[in-house]
Amino acid sequence: MNIEELLEKYFNADASLKEEEELKEYFAQKEIPEKLEPYRELFRSFSSISKEKINDDYIEEKIFGKIDNAKIKSFKSASVKFAYIAAGVAAAVLILLMAYVQYSTLPDKNLRLDYLSHDTYRDPHKAYEETRNALLFVSAELNKGMDQLEKLSQFNRSIEEVQKNLNLENYQQSKVKGGKNNEN
């Protein structure tokens, strides 16, 4: 079989072990064609790797060492996570406790939030008028803001119109320049 065909089989992962050995032996020769020269180093490195013997004890040490390190790291990360969770829970409990103590020891009942449970106005007509005035104020302020937005919108439309004109002018200039270049 041709070496190029063997290479193709090899790179398609269809080569047998015997064919791979043939390729290694072929590229171990001193003289090979130039077009196959780039593959020489590839097969030489495979040959040198396959000649090395690996000690079984070395493999076991590496594997078990990694497993032991992984166990230690996972234990450390679990204990660190637990510490963060415990600290968060303790902080939340402390904040709630402090808020309760502060609220319960207020001397003046008006400072508490109890006043939200009843109306602030005894007369409903007065409450309606106050609410109406507040809403009218908010509406007037929003309308002022909308006027400013309308001015900004007009400005944007003007900018877009100028941009369109500039694009048209640039297009026309490029056509004029293109026409002059074609005449020369």
Q: Where do the domains of the chain lie?
A: 3-52, 54-87
DSSP 85-116: HHHHHHHHHHHHHHHHHHHHT-S-GGGSGGGG
Tokens of 165: 């004109």
Percentage of the chain beyond pLDDT 70 is 70
Q: What is the pTM of this model?
A: 0.28
Q: Which of 53, 52, 45 is nearest to 23 (CA)?
A: 45
Model pLDDT for residues 82-141, shown as the tens digit of each residue: 888 889 999 999 999 988 887 777 666 555 555 555 667 788 888 889 999 999 998 888
Q: Closest Cα to residue 4, out of 26, 30, 29?
A: 26
Grade residue 150 by pLDDT with cuts at 50, 70 and 90.
confident
Rounded (10°) CA dihedral 50, 56, 59, 63: 140
State the alpha helices, DSSP H only, in 12-55.
Answer: 17-28, 37-51
Which tokens in the block code for residue 12?
């398609």
Helix 3-11 to helix 17-28 angle (10° resolution) is: 130
Cα gap 133→124, rounded to integer Å = 14
Task: Give pLDDT, residue 95.
Answer: 93
DSSP 35: G
Contact present, 161 and 153 (Cβ < 8 Å): no
Say if CB 173 and CB 181 are below 8 A apart: no
Question: Does residue 77 carry a pLDDT above 80?
Answer: no
Max Cα-Cα span within the chain:
110
